[in-house]
Amino acid sequence: MDRPEVVAPVGASVPRVDGFAKVTGRARYLDDLDAPGAWHGVTVRSKIAHGKLEAIDLDPAFDWSQVVVATAADIPGANVVRLIEDDQVALVPVGGHVRHFDEAIAVVAAPTRALAFAAAKAVKPRITPLPPVFTIDDALAVTSTLHGSDNVYKQFLIRKGHATDAELEAVFASAAQVLDGTYTTSPQEQMYIEPQAMMAEWRDGRCYLVGSMQCPYYVHKAMKHLLGCDAEGVVIAQSVTGGGFGGKEEYPSMLAAHCAVVAAKAKHPVKIVYDRDEDIAATTKRHPARTRHRLAVDAAGELLAIDVDCVMDGGAYLTLSPVVLSRGVLHAAGPYRCPIVRVRGRVVATNYPPHGAFRGFGAPQTTFAYERQLNKLARARGEHPFELRKRLALRSGDTTATGQLLGFSVGTDEVFAAIEQVAGAPPVRDGVNANGAPVRRGRGYVFYFHGAGFTGSGEQRLAGRAAVALTASGTFEVRSSSTDIGQGSITMFTQIAAAALGVGVSQVSVVDPSTARVPDSGPTVASRTCMVVGGVVERAARALRAKLELWAAEVGISGQPIETLAHKRAAAGGELVETITYEPPPGIQWDDATYTGSAYPVYGWAACLVDVAIDLDTYEVTIERCVQAVDVGKAINPSIVKGQIEGGTLQALGWAVLENVVYQEGRVANANMTNCIVPTFADAPELETILVEVPYPFGPSGAKGVGEIPMDGPAAAVANAVEDALGCAFDDLPISPEAIGLAKPRWRLS
């Protein structure tokens, strides 16, 4: 009833297939599932950032008869949350090291939540403190050894157009102009509104896990290792997921470990649903970063050389940090023409909770740096910042920092033209706001890009699979492990498959991802779901249609509508399934050893304009206007794409002016929504979104990734607008009222 009939629906704003369930409250998230006999799990955490766990004492005054306590000793397989490296433990073992505040030490389960909380308080870890590391500088100076000999988890080096550092320095020494700036960006909380949640149940020796997650097969891989079982020994299913933004990429494996181990001991299903404070305190955040960016420029204003040195804080375990850093360095030179580039990146170990995946995945940090630098260059040259970007931007035929020759789907001119068309006059500089306070206004621009899909040969290695099936009931089913976490993938897959099959959307459904019945399509990350997995779905649907038409020819009923054929074929018995594996576009070459080649199969391109008003009494920055033009290749569902861009844009604007995670001695000091704030309806400006479509020949109907790109640019656009307004630079996020006030001696209100 909530699914109107639309034929050939690609490009139409088909209402979301899950819309009805969500507006009526019928959609069942993990905590809404009926779970007869389920117990509640609560995690016991370290209240110290670094130390040796000497013992776990149980308060003898507490009645333990109704409660189970699971520790590292109860883990049947390896005590490791398997991801890139096996360095993170699921539960700190006695004799082992606690590496961050709020690290998990034990899990208790009890028939009621209240009893479980009481029991968790009665578990007393004994920890001998060790010296902690809380800054990038201390990590690099190895004030305490946390990882290897140098505390560096991973480093990358990109070189373009020069062989040695001396040659690079010679370019800087002889340049007409050099700009040298250092930019810091703050940790950011994903703040999905549904906290992390998972439930485990053991039946017949098999562990069934259901939870709020992005990547069922990540959890599957981690659980096989941790439970010491084969692929059949554990089944992972996704419940309706209330937002992820990267925050439910790697962390759910930790939750799954805790649930599975304590449920085995309790001999009951166990549900763990984090409270908001626990979620903010213990789970991953965006990596804080410090990026030094140098530009060498000739007298005509052409870029001679770019030199970037980015250091990210990885936190207490390696988790996804190498990949986040990789994306950061690959975007660090920006979408600008330059013959000589050096990008160095390092991610270091500290004693903070691990920093991890968050929309943009390293690129927002380095984008902030290069787009501040371009702005400073424009100001120094007295050139209009938008014109300077247009002049220097990469276009088809240019090469990126890794030497990738850009060919198709480069929307540079189109996004500039889109912004130009609506920009209008800059805001009136001085005025009065609704409170009667004087304000100062300014305008900022950015231009940026974002690589879609996995880096380098990642998609080839991953070889994601998806299937389309004709079911016994005569309708079609898409089977993939891609999760809908609000981004609309099930609706878009429905549209893509329906269009390729030549049927109405009501004839297609997308099954809920469970490792028991969908192939591994790869994780739901990296702006890859629509472009990569959607492309596989499109091919599978076409192949299935061909199979169906072949059958029709064999039985002599060719020429009938696909829906009719489908019902006749179903009546003949048996399922018809096509499973397809991803194939990279031709000409993709990447060398991991030298970091050269095609870093991504294709890029999204975007330009953004922001107008700000700064209250000269309270120093508050109000974003009065924000226009984003984004080249998405092809909008499969324009309403969904718009929703993605606007959601990402507001996360970026929030990161620019009001979001922050404050650490004190390794502990998150603002672990609640009262103090760890995100933009409300009233904080958000009206967002103007322009969809630009420069098709990607190898995406479904020309579509390319869009999930992350809107997060990369707007923070720098805000900083550039504030610089325009106040006449001085703001190079650190967030640009809070405190930051504006402290900069008052530098204001130049000419």
Partner 1 sequence: MKVTLEINGESRSVDASPWKRLLDVLREDLRLTGTKEGCGEGECGACTVMLDGEAVNSCLVAIGQCDRRTVTTVEGLANGEVLHAVQRALVACGGAQCGICTPGIAVCAAHVVDRGLVTGTDDATARARIRELLAGNICRCTGYQLIVDAIVIAAREVAKP
Binding residue (CB under 8 A) for partner 1 from 41, 385, 458, 488: 488
Examine residue 316 and tell whether it contacts partner 1 (CB under 8 A): no
Q: Which stretch binds partner 1 (CB under 8 A): 299-307, 376-384, 471-479, 671-679?
A: 671-679
Q: Return the closest-CA partner of residue 612 out of 729, 446, 441, 487.
A: 441
Q: How far apart are CA 323 and CA 361, in angstroms?
A: 8
In the numeric block, which tokens belong to residue 445? 């621009």
| Closest to partner 1 by CB, 127 or 490 | 490
CB of 15 to partner 1, least distance (A): 5
Question: Between residue 388 and residue 447, which ones bind partner 1 under the rule CB under 8 A?
Answer: none
Site for partner 1 in 594-633 (CB under 8 A): none
Residues 687-716 binding partner 1 (CB under 8 A) are: 687, 689
Q: Is-cis flag, bond preceding 700, omega within 30? A: no
Cβ-based nearer residue to partner 1, 138 or 646: 646
**Least distance from C-beta 637 to partner 1, angstroms?**
8
Query: Which of 193, 550, 555, 742 touches partner 1 (CB under 8 A)?
Result: 193
Q: Which of 6, 31, 169, 624 binds partner 1 (CB under 8 A)?
A: 31
Q: Give the DSSP letter of residue 85.
A: S
Q: Is 669 in the site for partner 1 (CB under 8 A)?
A: no
Q: Do you know the residue count of the chain?
A: 750
In the bound state with partner 1, the residue whose beta carbon lies nearer, of 273 and 347, is 273
Beta strands in 190-318 (DSSP E): 197-203, 206-211, 234-238, 270-273, 289-297, 303-315
Q: Which is nearer to partner 1, 192 or 698 (CB)?
A: 192
- Residue 483 near residue 602, CB atoms below 8 Å: no
Looking at the Cβ atoms of 191 and 467, the one nearer to partner 1 is 191
Using rule CB under 8 A, residue 209 touches partner 1: no
Q: Which of residues 261-280 bind partner 1 (CB under 8 A)?
A: 275-276
Enumerate residues 225-264 that contact partner 1 by CB under 8 A. Answer: 240-245
40 forms part of the interface with partner 1 (CB under 8 A): no
HSE at residue 642, side-chain half, CA atoms within 13 A, is 14
Structure tokens belonging to residue 393: 């931007």
Choosing from 646, 667, 732, 747, the residue that interacts with partner 1 (CB under 8 A) is 646
**Residue selected from 101, 192, 208, 416 as contacting partner 1 according to rule CB under 8 A:** 192
Q: Is 567 in the site for partner 1 (CB under 8 A)?
A: no
What's the closest the beta carbon of residue 242 comes to partner 1, in angstroms? 3
Stretch that binds partner 1, among 316-324, 519-527, 597-605, 677-685 (CB under 8 A): 677-685
Query: Smaller CB distance to partner 1: residue 20 or 408?
Result: 20
Question: In whole angstroms, how close is the CB of 22 to partner 1 at the nearest point?
Answer: 3
Instruction: State the SS3 of 416-453.
Output: HHHHHHHHCCCCCCEEECCCCCEEEEEEEEEEEEEEEC
- Quote the CA–CA distance of 533 and 510 in Å, as a whole number: 13
Q: Which is nearer to partner 1, 65 or 680 (CB)?
A: 680
User: Taking the CA of residue 21 as centre, how many other CA atoms within 13 Å lie in the half-sphere pointing to its CB?
Assistant: 11
Q: Among residues 444, 368, 452, which one has the least CA distance to residue 410? A: 452
User: Cα(202)–Cα(209) distance, rounded to whole angstroms?
Assistant: 9
By CB under 8 A, residue 743 contacts partner 1 = no
Task: Determine if residue 665 is left, alpha or beta; phi over 0 gives left, psi from -120 to 50 gives alpha, anything else beta.
Answer: left
CA distances from 418 to 409, 421, 646, 735 (A): 16, 5, 17, 28
176 or 193, CB closer to partner 1? 193
- Residue from 257, 270, 113 nearest 200 by CA: 270
Strands (E), 255-411: 270-273, 289-297, 303-315, 340-349
- Which positions lie near partner 1, rule CB under 8 A? 1-2, 13, 15-16, 18-29, 31-32, 190-195, 240-245, 275-276, 485-488, 639-640, 642-643, 645-651, 672-674, 678, 680-682, 684, 686-687, 689
